[in-house]
Amino acid sequence: MTLPTAAIRIMLVDEQPIVLWALEKLIDAEKPRMQVVGKADNGSDARRLVRELQPDILLLDLSLGGGKGAELVPVIVKDGRTRVVIYTSQRDLGTIDRAVFNGARGLVHKEAAPQVLLNAIRKVHEGELWLDRRTTSRIFYEFARAGGRAPVDLALQKLESLTRKEHRIVAVFATMPGAPNKQIAEVLCMSEHTLRNHLTSIFGKLQIKHRFDLFTFAHSHRSRLDVSSVLPESSALR
């Protein structure tokens, strides 16, 4: 007697409730071959639920958090249990390529037919890659140019070296270009002296020398910063 195949356990991550609803209807219609085991509309919940649920496939929108979805990929795939399929309307090739280099196994654009998405989930679950020809060509080219190593995202490495306080300070610089230290310190609920101490550390980690450089860096990488965190918070930052 042939034993029934276990369902592919899928988790959905997208900021738009209507997209989550539609994807859940589509995938649950494939029972018992597939089923949705969890949903999240932000990165924090996504990381927590992946640890708790350990889905086979994570369907991820790269536009999450203002374009920071790609940064979730290495966190999700590091234990080898969950495979990531990108399902997105994102057209920034750098963001797409970074997600693939970080470990995403599939890419489906949102305008694709529903059956394409279902096929991608099935193939990735079976251990295959699901990438369009153009993405595959770019990946091979960049991989060869980097001497067989995935290109290093230096800006992301620098941001990841920051503490939570430092990351929040950089986010303020992204939203207040040209503001003096006094004004920035007030927004952060800390003294100018404390801010200057943090800036010394930030300059070293980001390999910059001046406040103008920090304004430029913060503006260039605003999509990777949690700018919603710049509202005054508890005295824990003091």
> DSSP 3-state helix, strand, coil percentages of the chain (rounded to 5)?
55, 10, 35
Would you call 44 helix, strand, or coil by DSSP? helix
Average pLDDT over residues 4-24: 91
94-115 pLDDT, tens digit each: 788 888 878 889 999 999 999 9
192-226 pLDDT, tens digit each: 999 999 999 999 888 888 888 888 888 777 777 77
pTM listed for this prediction: 0.60
Can you tell me which residue has the tokens 């999240």? Answer: 40
DSSP one-letter code for 236: G
Does residue 32 have a cis bond before it (omega within 30 degrees)? yes
The token duo for 234 is 């508890």
The token duo for 133 is 């020809």
